[in-house]
Structure 1
Amino acid sequence: MTLPEGARVWHAVHGAGRVELSRRMTAIVRFTHGLEEVLLSDLEERPDTPVTAPAADVVARVQAEAILSINNAWGVFSRSRVTLLPHQLWVCRQVITRWPSRWLVADDVGLGKTVEAGLILWPLLSRGLVGRVLVLCPASLVEQWQERMRTMFDIRLTRYTREADTAKSGFWETHRTVVASLQTLRDGKKGYHDRLLQAEPWDLVIVDEAHHLHAHEAGSTLSYRLIERLEEAGRIKGMVFFSGTPHRGDDEAFLALLQLLRPDRFDPGRPLGPQLKYLPEVMIRNNKQHVTDLSGEPLFHPPHVRSVTYTYSPEEARFYRQMTEFITTGKAYASSLGDNTQGRAVMLVLIAMQKLASSSVAAVRRALERRLGGLKAATRTYFEMRPGDDDADAQARFDELLPLEELQWRLMEDEIERLEELVESARSVMEETKIHRILEAIEKDYPEENVLLFSEYKATQSLILTALAEKYGMDSIVFINGDDRAEDVCGETLTMSRQEAAERFNAGQARFLVSTEAGGEGIDLQRRCHTLIHVDLPWNPMRLHQRVGRLNRYGQRHRVEVLNIRNPDTVESIIWEKLDSKIRRITRALASAMDEPEDLLELVLGMTDPSLFTSLFAEAQQGPRARLDEWFDEKTRQFGGEDALTAVREIVGHAAHFDYGQVSDLIPKLDLPDLAPFFKLMLGLNHRQVREEGGGLTFNTPKPWLDEFGILPVYRDLVFDRELPREDSGRLLGVGHRLMEMALKQARSLPGLTASVPELQYPLMVFQISDSLTDAGQAAPTTLVGVSLAEKPTMKLDWEILQWANTLVRPSLLRDEGGQEIPAGLPDEAARGQTFLETMLPQLHLVYTLPRIDHIATLFSGK
């Protein structure tokens, strides 16, 4: 058997195609994804016919091709259990339009990075382009990635552990979708990296909080080196990084991060400026000010921030003066020791004490008492174990523990006597005015509200938990901290996981959630809460943005209310006021050039060395108040300087970003329920009756679908509803469900190109656009487009075709058997439609190098 060039054929695996070259036993066929050489015996010729096919067959095939075209580009029909937003669909389209691809998604906090990751994954999994997936993230986010991928998208990630990865276990060969913490996987001892590097390549590697992949002149982090080694070994095909602050003030490190993604475009050895022109090819940055719902309405509004003040009681004022003098004396003593290990250790302890004292008397009193009690016992120091600035909760725990250790170095010559005075003074503070003021604010301003409260330190956390429990009851409180324990809460020790705390708070079972910085990232708390109180103010302003980000994120239905508590008589409060004033000036400077100053401010803060803020607060007490303004201005001269502002403007200005006005016409105005007409039509074509009870579909499975492994003979109450409870997720139909995949496969194999549809006024030609270039090493999905041949042709997008085709699905459609003669001249109209479509290609924003247009269906009026 031979087939002529241009013959239309069908292949069970590759679908519809046209013969390019026929040989003795094989043929080279151009399918929608590219050229394939296949056996002639595996091809079924589907010649164009002068008579019409049954309307239901052609409509179902057009629906199937439209569904795949829409989903392959946007992921809109994935089985996600969350409402999808335009910017998330746009990110999905940017990343998967060509595969494999490399992107840095630097969206603002709260815009749904895990949803974006799931939307990217589903179409790639459905198309078979991705099978092996590796997700790398901080240890605190591993469980969240597992849980959200499973509950939102039914994607199962296996958690990597060192115990499971042995020389005999074959972990990397037996697990194809894996999530691992950067901290665990970066250590290559005992053959861990060797086994990873010897395993099959990863189709997709996702890195969350990718700014931890840091490289500069001084060297690379272990995490950076791990990705670099995988890349050098050819073990990564596609790669997507997520980070809200990818530029951390170091151009070289930023370019090194981009070089991991696109070594052909970026070089950390060259200046940033000339390389910015390539940024739109690799970096996406969306911000809260620009994202909208499907109607174009803004989703976010800037939070409303206000401050309330309080004054110390006489006992608190006396303790604050004594504590200030103690720290000042200790710092003078540390300076006299010089910049050696002892001097640095003493200064570190004093700074930790100062931070504790700015939080609460209770927090620093616990540290003072423990240090006093064990001062004479020399123990090892934690000096070399200080955590990185990126781990806020670990840093807070370090601050609490460091002063408690019996360091072999004294903080001053008469330290024991001074500590005894301080402890006695602290114990005289029976009630902390700050806590009383917080309770007043809750009672007066938020009497019915659920409230999220943040504190840096566990002792302060226990203090506010006790106060809330005494006033509102133990059932009203939950907490989050690094070790899931809260001591001395109404005389008890409470234990609770962060997941349990978040679930109870989000379910409305507890009115107050009191969190340390452990809740500052990786957890959503916006479901029932829009009120946040800063019990204390962290010395790094970035922490404030991260805290607010727990509430000011997608799903929040109210403007977020933020309350700061401060004592204007303290040095810390004075510094915060000056710092806040400077931040407002930076925001105004950004606003003069950009539309999203709040978004850019976060990048400015991310580019600032955290040690600047520590030194601001730590050194302020030592200088005279009269020179504080001058000292502050000199100290912060580089913060938010023109170099930083220029870098931020250029980076954001060059990054790709979602613009509703530009792409709103392309975004599918569809959701899962729009799959229902197609699915019901396919059941009808298979002679299956559908019972609709309570909104769900019940039916006997068509026999052709039973060939797929795992498909059941009968299904009950299947739905197209994203609001389905998690425990019923198996009932959710969407692209990726086995039944839907079988329906799509069968519909695409239906023969017949032309059908008569009475509802049409003008003929509708349906075309499939693909890329003729097949040697680029990237797979691009096909795009379905229709042309309505009125007096003036008009173009219909894939989602518009599906919307229209859905209106045709009714019992009468199944009764049409085709067989009608095609009107004279209609075949020639396809050429007119294709010519028109060629002129409209720029409006589709396609990325095909050499677009190819194939006519796949014609629908005309049977009147």
Structure 2
Amino acid sequence: MSDFSPGQRWISDGEAELGLGTVLNCDTRSVTILFSASQETRTYNTRQAPLTRVQFGSGDRILSADGCQMLVDDSKEHDGLITYIGQDDSGEVRELPEAKLADTMQFDQARDRLLTGQVDRNDWFDLRFRTLHHHQRIEQHSALGFSGPRIDLIPHQLYIADEVARRHAPRVLLADEVGLGKTIEAGLILHRLLLVGRVERALILVPDSLTHQWLVELLRRFSLSVTLLDESQSQAHGSDNPFGSGQLILGSQDWLFANPARQEQALASRFDLLIVDEAHHLDWHEEGSGAGYQCVESLSAEIDGLLLLTATPEQMGLKSHFARLRLLDPERYHDLERFKQEERHYVEVAGAIDALDALPGDTQARTKVDAVADDRDSQALLETLTNLEASAEQHDAARVQLRDALLDRHGTGRVMFRNSRRHVGGFPERRYHPVPLALPSAYRRVVRRLARDEDYLDELLIETGMDHPDVLIYPDAMYRELSNDPLNAEDWWHIDPRINWLLEKLSDDSESGFANKKGLEKVLVIAHHRETAEGIAEGLRVLGGYHAPVFHEDLSLIERDRAAAAFADEEDGCQVLVCSEIGSEGRNFQFCRHLVMFDLPQHPDQLEQRIGRLDRIGQQHAIEIHVPTFEGSPGERLLRWYHDGMDAFSAPHGVGSDLFDAFGDALADALLDDEMLTEIVEETREMFSAKLAERDAGRNRLLELNACRPARAKAVIDAVSELDDDKALPRFVERALDIFGVDSQDLGGDVMLLSPSQQMLDGLPGLAKGEEGFSATYRRDVALARDDIQRLSWEHPLLREMMGRVIDGTMGNSALALLRHPAIPSGRLMAELVFRTHCPAPKRLHLNRFLPPTAVRVLLDESGANLTDKISFTGLSKNVQKVNKSMARDLIKSRHEQLRALLTQGEGEAERELPSIIEAAETRMRAQLDNELARLTALAEHNPAVRDTEVQALKAERAALSDAIENTRLRLDAVRVVITVDAER
């Protein structure tokens, strides 16, 4: 006789997502169930139906079809149908026939799933508990957000990322010199803020030539997928706002700055963070500003967080630098003259900080420090430092604290981070190779006439349409513009000795050549004009048979990337890449060590940007800088100014813009006059030395001291290294891969191949069914050496996806196991309950750093005795055995009342642990935020760079965190029933 009756409520064991089913009809052979919530009907064989009868007991909360909740007190049965008796939300007693239960009821909670006979495998339960444990540990770790990216652990980068990412809505200027890794710093900050929940949406604006590079870098280094937005993509969204199409939007500055309608859409999209690369191109002056500056200014007024990236913050002078700071904090930086006065004060502060090393014995040093230690705390530290009776340890501690206080309270160090190569160290040698060549007759003819005829320059400017001094220092461009001259019939590259010199170097297999015995050397050639770059490539092809891709501004993004990729390929790639000036911005060619400056740029910052494409942190070789020039030409005189006037090829000095502002016009006039040039070179050298001394004494000195504090940087690196060496990670990954159905094959060399199996669960990152999968390693050095290998960490998308599915889903939240043990009689029952803290709070609070979801384990035997401290989770898990699901359902059904009692008792046992968890979290929060708030409040009294909104935000955050922690509750996360059986069976 069938156990089914029309109107009864059942659930599918294999498809619990169908919701609550109702028996439509049945006979001795089959039963038909309607799942109204999912509009599905199923017919099952009554003998083998994978169904479980839904029966609630006292204490269960149920939902009626009309949306009312009821707490069950009792039930009664008539003609096979159950009627539940209990209290509704208003406290009234009511009856609810099971036919009127809500069809949408889901049995996601561990209690519901267990009591309705839905149990998972024991290894799933095991994985769930371990996932909770590791998630709790990692969320509180100080290296969260920094351990996953594929980067070298470079102190200044990690220090800046840690310092900036700690702040509420950070607004800073990242102004490290070329090659020190500003993109990595910005990526680290973004990655950390995304993981901790302080940022959910970000807008990244970069020059058009760098969009694909940013796209690749964010994906390859940080595993961040971004939406690349342009006009065609925007139009594809029709009337919808295209900026809502992704969490991270990457766009070209050229496109957005020229499109006011798209700017309005970006403003309406509520981003949390704005990142702007190459910010020195934003044009501002007191009388007005360019379209790009206006766009960023509007966006930054609406977006809380702002990162501006520039390697040359003063490229356009002090006003331009002020304009960048004005974007960060318009209230703080509103008066240019006041800003100039502050700049002059930095010399005094920098001198005082350097004088700390001379204390306690030097009285002059004491006077310097006393002049800037203008608050009670600093004076107290100074007293300790100058107290001759204090110990050496006390002196050292006071010196460090006072240095940090002075750095915090003076200057722009809080809003601007600038590291220089001399401060960071570890950069390769630069080797300067001037190459004097004879002027070809076509060029010499013009130069000679210019020397004897003062009016010819004006004629030449009119005839060629070129600017002064371009017409002088780019003779090939001048030659092309004079192509109507019958003497200029040949292409310029046929008659230019620089082409022949380059071909000779490419074929030279001596130590000084580009084809030496060590193999073909990669060579980057940079010329000022696109036409020159194209001509160089054509000359190399026609005269020497060399294929050299050209990289210039008129290529599409895909064409540029293709050219760069062909150059980067070590095995089949080309030996030479020819770039126009655009090749000196943003791109990283540090795998190459030979740079040929086919001509020279007019501005020193452009010269440094060219060299910076090769001379980057991580470069393993000396940089060979080859500069072919024509003897007696204006180009050779420009080279003298660069080399003799400012030592431009030896190292970046950061004062080229000031020198160009002072001498640029006079230099242009001196390019045809050796005597005048000698005078300008001498004056330039004098100003160069003075500027270096001024830089070392003033704001740049403060910035360098503040841009990387070694002790803090070491602490961050140690924290990242701790996670790198975490022995628990491989063990957890092995368990998770097995359960999620991912095959792992050891390839040797600490590399494994992860590939989808036939049983793999859908939707795992990088593991689509039918595809090969990917190679992975746990070792940072292996992943850095090979771009084709991903690095597995706690932050890898695959790990985060698997952990998220376990924690947020039902996987493993109910299980039943058998335990054979000679000391325990057969038929005894234990309930292993895992409770989890639940604390609803906005993601931006990053509550998890103080109170992540925390597991509380309770193990009870059938008599209610608490065995938690006597039997460990690992010890029990090693000895339990699986049981088939049909038997598990029967066992649970037979122990319903007993299980309900143990579940209720377990809640009380777990609740006893909650106060200590809350107290510990509150203590951790107060220890960090109280100190941070006290420091920030004191700092705000002395340093106007600390915004009042930042202080108020921190106070509000502390109050909100305290409320959230106080309201923490426990809920049952998982339960495993363990039943003992005869040890001999």
- The normalised TM-score by structure 1 is 0.63
Match of 1:390 in 2: none
Q: Is 1:519 the equivalent of 2:583? A: yes
Query: Which of the numbers 263, 267, 281 marks the counterpart of 2:414?
Result: 281
- Give distance in 1, aligned partners of 2:770 and 2:467: 68
Contact 2:644 2:681 in 1 (8 A): no
Higher relative contact order (CA 8 A, sep 6+): 1
Amino acid in structure 1 at the alignment position of 2:455: T
Match of 2:76 in 1: none
CA pair 226-647 structure 1, distance change in 2 beyond 3 A: farther
Larger Rg: 2
Query: Which of the numbers 161, 174, 194 marks the counterpart of 2:264?
Result: 194
Match of 2:753 in 1: 696
Amino acid in structure 2 at the alignment position of 1:248: Q
Contact 1:253 1:268 in 2 (8 A): no
CA pair 744-659 structure 1, distance change in 2 beyond 3 A: farther
Match of 2:134 in 1: 63
CA pair 222-747 structure 1, distance change in 2 beyond 3 A: same
Contact 1:99 1:779 in 2 (8 A): no
Structure 2 stretches lacking a partner, 5+ long: 1-57, 60-88, 91-106, 112-124, 347-409, 778-782, 814-840, 853-872, 881-912, 936-953, 970-985
Query: Which of the numbers 261, 283, 299 marks the counterpart of 2:328?
Result: 261
Contact 1:99 1:778 in 2 (8 A): no
Contact 2:277 2:309 in 1 (8 A): yes
- Give distance in 2, aligned partners of 1:131 and 1:838: 23
Match of 2:193 in 1: 124
- Give distance in 1, aligned partners of 2:773 and 2:230: 36
Match of 2:678 in 1: 629
CA deviations 1:193-230 (Å, max 9, x no partner) are 33333x23111111001122343312122222222223
Contact 2:552 2:580 in 1 (8 A): yes
- Deviation, structure 1 residue 266: 3.1
Which range moves more in the overlay, 643-652 or 148-157? 643-652
Match of 1:657 in 2: 707
Q: Is 1:93 the equivalent of 2:162? A: yes
Match of 1:770 in 2: none
Which range moves more in the overlay, 452-461 or 557-566? 452-461
Contact 2:435 2:626 in 1 (8 A): yes
- Deviation, structure 1 residue 832: 14
CA deviations 1:60-95 (Å, max 9, x no partner) are 5443333334476442214x4x55544333333222
Match of 2:523 in 1: 451
Query: Which of the numbers 330, 350, 354 marks the counterpart of 2:472?
Result: 354
Match of 1:540 in 2: 603
Contact 2:640 2:681 in 1 (8 A): no
- Deviation, structure 1 residue 363: 3.4
- Give distance in 1, aligned partners of 2:137 and 2:147: 12
- Give SS of 1:67's match: helix
CA pair 659-702 structure 1, distance change in 2 beyond 3 A: farther
Match of 1:271 in 2: 339
- Deviation, structure 1 residue 672: 6.4
- Deviation, structure 1 residue 608: 5.2
- Give SS of 1:483's match: coil
- Give distance in 1, aligned partners of 2:766 and 2:633: 67
Contact 2:566 2:574 in 1 (8 A): yes
Map 1:801-816; keep pairs closer than 5 Å. 815=878
Match of 1:329 in 2: 455
Contact 1:64 1:744 in 2 (8 A): no
CA pair 450-783 structure 1, distance change in 2 beyond 3 A: farther
- Give distance in 2, aligned partners of 1:125 and 1:831: 26
Percent of residue pairs bearing the same amino acid type: 22
Q: Across the two proteins, how many residue pairs are aligned to each other? A: 662
Amino acid in structure 2 at the alignment position of 1:630: E
Contact 2:172 2:307 in 1 (8 A): yes
- Deviation, structure 1 residue 510: 0.9
Q: Is 1:109 the equivalent of 2:178? A: yes
- Give distance in 2, aligned partners of 1:715 and 1:740: 21
CA pair 552-784 structure 1, distance change in 2 beyond 3 A: farther
Match of 2:251 in 1: 180
CA pair 367-177 structure 1, distance change in 2 beyond 3 A: same
Which range moves more in the overlay, 431-440 or 451-460? 431-440
Query: Which of the numbers 730, 734, 750 marks the counterpart of 1:680?
Result: 734
Q: Is 1:618 the equivalent of 2:618? A: no
Match of 2:230 in 1: 160
- Deviation, structure 1 residue 583: 0.9
CA deviations 1:619-678 (Å, max 9, x no partner) are 11455x445433555688766754994499414523632344552243121576854333
Map 1:336-347; keep pairs closer than 5 Å. none
- Give distance in 2, aligned partners of 1:429 and 1:502: 23
Match of 2:569 in 1: 507
- Deviation, structure 1 residue 300: 2.1
- Deviation, structure 1 residue 707: 10
- Give SS of 2:421's match: coil
Amino acid in structure 2 at the alignment position of 1:279: T
Match of 1:409 in 2: none
Contact 1:700 1:715 in 2 (8 A): no
- Deviation, structure 1 residue 101: 1.6
Query: Which of the numbers 549, 552, 559 marks the counterpart of 1:497?
Result: 559
- Give SS of 1:281's match: coil
- Give distance in 2, aligned partners of 1:689 and 1:483: 46
- Give distance in 1, aligned partners of 2:925 and 2:493: 80
CA pair 350-268 structure 1, distance change in 2 beyond 3 A: closer
Which range moves more in the overlay, 499-508 or 462-471? 462-471
Match of 1:365 in 2: 479
CA pair 252-144 structure 1, distance change in 2 beyond 3 A: same
CA pair 262-324 structure 1, distance change in 2 beyond 3 A: same
- Deviation, structure 1 residue 245: 1.2
C-alpha RMSD over aligned residues: 5.4
Structure 1 stretches lacking a partner, 5+ long: 3-23, 26-40, 46-53, 292-297, 335-342, 373-419, 486-494, 588-596, 752-773, 786-809, 818-825, 857-863
Which range moves more in the overlay, 707-716 or 692-701? 707-716
Contact 1:308 1:565 in 2 (8 A): yes
